[in-house]
Amino acid sequence: MNLKQELGLDLAIKTIEHECMLNIVYTGTMINKSAYRYFSRYGITETQFNVLMSLKYALSDGLSQIALSKRLIVNKADVTGIIDRLEKKKLVERFADKNDRRINLIKITSRGREILLKVEKIYIEEVRRLLTGCAKTEIKTIIHGLEIIRKNLRTSYYRVFARELEKSQK
């Protein structure tokens, strides 16, 4: 079913670019809602799951909050709160870095690993199920297209920011 039908639109979407963007946003919203329902059964959020996964698959024994913030799709200022909530659930622990005591390292606990054992396998299966019917070449095309859009967004953001800055300095 196409987006016009799914949304019950009276008229066709005018440009393919606009239809593409609406498809991305609508699909992302559907994925977020589904993820919320799935992860809430385990008492965690998708972001908390991503923290646990990052810690589990890190090559080092623990990651700094700065390193975690780079790996997550959240605002850097939100990482402390996310870690606080995970620590309260006893899914992660903070330790002072032995080389620099100003830095806290975040490590996954055995309880955090237990949660991941339950969640990760089903999550990976669901990701595969969602992409059923897409050939590997189509998946690579989607990935490539989204990388281009993100690059254009970064460029666009800086161009708009520069214009706004220029206006404010006049």
* Inter-residue contact 97 to 103 (CB < 8 Å): yes
Rounded Cα distance between 24 and 19, Å, is 9
Among residues 37, 38, 34, the alpha carbon closest in space to that of 121 is found at 38
Q: For residue 25, what pLDDT is reported?
A: 95
Rounded Cα distance between 41 and 38, Å, is 6
Q: Is the pLDDT of residue 160 over 90?
A: no
C-alpha distance across the termini of the chain, in Å = 51
Architecture in CATH for domain 3-133: Orthogonal Bundle (1.10)
Q: Is the pLDDT of residue 157 over 70?
A: no
- 29: pLDDT confidence band, cut at 50, 70 and 90? very high
